[in-house]
Amino acid sequence: MRASLSSYLAAWSALSIPGLLAYKISQIPFMPSFGRTSHENNVHRLPDWNYDLHALEPIPLAVNGNSTNRVNLVYFGDGYTEEERHTFIRDAQFLTDTLMDPGGAFSPVATLLNFWAVFIPSGESGIGTHGKPRNTTFGLYRPGEELRAVFYAHPERVAAACKALNQRSSRRHGTSVNFGCDEPILLGNDGFYGGLGGTPTVITASGNNGVQVLRHELGHTLIPVGEEYDGGFAYFGVNAANASERSAKQDVSWAHWFSDLKAQRTGRVRIEDSRVAVQKYPWHDLSRSPYAVDFSDHGADYPTGLLRFSVSGIPDKTNLVVKMDGQVVDYDFTKEHHGSLDRTWVQIALDRGLTGYSAYDNNHHKLEFDANAASDTVKPMLSSVEIIEYGSNERFNGSAGHIGAYRTEDIDGGITLRPTNEGCLMRDVTIPTFCSVCLEGLTLSLFSRVSLIESTRIMCPAADGKHAERHAAISLNLLNITDASYTVRWFRGDVEIHGFGNKTTVDIPVSLLQPERKSVEGMYTAKVKLALPLVRLGDREEMQDKTDIWFGGCH
């Protein structure tokens, strides 16, 4: 049964700094089985959708192996008309290239992923607003006019299309290429920020924000983890730990990644001392009135800080004045944003902390936003604002790349811990990469869905009648992974064959004479372990594989 709009809006009201709370799979409309292995109950049409799913044409964007042993992500366009087919393919290719290119968020695990695009024309261009879908394939729409969440009206169509793909195969470029659909992505033909986490993942074709939204939401879907930013309510997974109020030091699951080697050995690390002074998601229309928030600082023990806010409908910094205690705060937009009405984030280091401003009443302050922009397309809106205060260097390590235990404050003021200060795209969507902890979680999650052993092969020698002795070979084809270190052990029955250690191809002497041939017949087992710099957790099931190979001799 589809979730109600009211349940959507309950989560929508909390959408925060990335603006796209990972709306968990249990909370979004159900997604029926995609039928990766079953060919029963083929779905060709739905009663309310007159589209022949046999006509689906998967377009390869980044294919790194046979889809039966890869995680396949498929873009389905929504709001692209027949005339906009090439626009859809271009948008999907751009997103994929940015994710997978060297330095991209998913480049370290690219070998495990395939990306495809499937074009289904919509009757109308664009996506809906104010809770009303347009005449599009999947019915994407914004509940309001804000650049915020984007929902879908037809989850059953996503499921049917994905299932249909998994029940077919394709031939391209003269070779057989199996394709699949494990994770559908709905790509809305809209140039502004928006999306939704879960399955399917929803994004838009925003030039400035599409990639940022996609990699963040895929982090929720594929790792899976909750948020790292303050003010949310979903904190779970490898990047989250409960904070103990009884101790300044903490045990966390990512101790093996601690930058402090002593902390690595003991498994305990101090909690970095920071405090949230302001954390709000006003979604305030600045064309109607300025916005102000009164707050208190935490005193001289927190000498530095960070002011971060996000706005939309503001093309230039001259269109927005920010003041702290009556003083104009200097800031700038990124060069990519200049002239754009899309949502953008601004981060301002408070090197003197809040004590550098003239509090109007002891430690009380006023932060103000006033805009002079006007647009019929996107209203000038303050989406989010927060101020974080940092303890002194003896109590807080804000170094880039440092991994420890950092406080995250949820919507109710509860505290969880995260691995880095501002070093992960799960906290700050403008950061292009995962932290080491999330990347390890992503790697293990993907390996749990594929096999280390791609295929096996038995090769027998040709009988020429001159020599009775020949050698057969059993060969393993392992996943080709950058920086991989494989350990291979071979067994016949329960007995390990030590001479075969760490070989992917082993020779088996066979005789053309029947008695000798029987001596080598039987079940051979290869056990494989993978070690990667991306994974420090030892002896994980996801990094192991085995296969049984029956060798019946060579005839």
Look at 165-169, 290-294, 305-309 and tell me which has the smallest mean pLDDT: 165-169
Q: Is the pLDDT of residue 24 over 60?
A: no
Q: Is the pLDDT of residue 116 over 60?
A: yes
Q: Is the pLDDT of residue 469 over 60?
A: no
Rounded mean pLDDT, 472-478? 94
Local confidence band at 536 (pLDDT 50, 70, 90 cut-offs): very high
Indicate the residue type of 288: R
Predicted local confidence at residue 308, as pLDDT:
98
Predicted local confidence at residue 47, as pLDDT:
56
- How far is the C-alpha of 328 from the C-alpha of 367, rounded, in Å? 10
Q: Where is pLDDT greater, at 359 or 117?
A: 117
β-bridge partners, 121:
none
CATH code reported for the domain at 453-551:
2.60.40
- How far is the C-alpha of 441 from the C-alpha of 426, rounded, in Å? 12
Q: How far is CA 164 from CA 89, 136, 180, 283, in A?
A: 20, 19, 9, 40
- How far is the C-alpha of 442 from the C-alpha of 530, rounded, in Å? 16
Which helix (H) or strand (E) covers residue 320, if one does? Answer: strand 320-324
Counting Cβ atoms within 10 Å, is residue 60 exposed (0-12), middle (13-18) or buried (19+)? middle
Local confidence band at 521 (pLDDT 50, 70, 90 cut-offs): confident
Phi first, then psi: give them for residue 366, nearest 5 degrees.
-135, 125
Predicted local confidence at residue 45, as pLDDT:
52
Q: Is the pLDDT of residue 445 over 80?
A: yes
Q: Is the pTM value of this prediction over 0.85?
A: yes
Predicted local confidence at residue 25, as pLDDT:
33
Question: Domain boundaries in the chain?
Answer: 5-222, 273-396, 453-551
> H-type helices in 267-346, by residue range?
none
CATH of 5-222, one of 3.40.390.10, 3.40.630.30, 3.30.420.40, 1.10.1380.10: 3.40.390.10
Q: Is the pLDDT of residue 516 over 90?
A: no
Taking alpha carbons only, the member of 379, 211, 403 closest to residue 311 is 379
What does pLDDT average to over the chain? 87
Strand stretches in 19-121, DSSP E: 58-62, 71-78, 113-118
Q: Is the pLDDT of residue 474 over 70?
A: yes
CATH architecture assigned to 273-396: Sandwich (2.60)
> H-type helices in 223-364, by residue range?
261-266
Query: Which position has the token pair 């039966």?
Result: 68
Strand 71-78 relative to strand 183-188, pairing: parallel
Phi first, then psi: give them for residue 195, nearest 5 degrees.
160, -170
Counting Cβ atoms within 10 Å, is residue 395 exposed (0-12), middle (13-18) or buried (19+)? middle
**Which contacts (CB < 8 Å, 24+ apart) does range 270-273 have?**
270/404, 270/405, 271/243, 271/405, 271/406, 271/407, 271/417, 272/391, 272/395, 272/396, 272/397, 272/398, 272/404, 272/405, 272/406, 272/407, 272/421, 273/302, 273/390, 273/391, 273/395, 273/396, 273/407
Could you tell me how far CA 168 lies from the centroid of its own chain?
Answer: 27
Q: pLDDT digits over 119-165, tens only? A: 999 999 999 999 999 999 999 999 998 999 999 999 999 999 999 99
β-bridge partners, 329:
none
Look at 134-143, 173-182, 217-226 and tell me which has the smallest mean pLDDT: 173-182
Rounded mean pLDDT, 107-122? 97
Predicted local confidence at residue 509, as pLDDT:
77
**CA 395, 401, 405 angle in degrees (round to 5)?**
45
Q: pLDDT digits over 234-247, tens only? A: 999 999 999 865 45
Predicted local confidence at residue 279, as pLDDT:
96
Collapsing DSSP states into helix, strand and coil, what is residue 284?
strand
Q: pLDDT digits over 406-443, tens only? A: 999 999 999 999 999 999 999 999 999 999 999 999 99
Query: Which position has the token pair 């600045």?
Result: 286
Predicted local confidence at residue 533, as pLDDT:
96
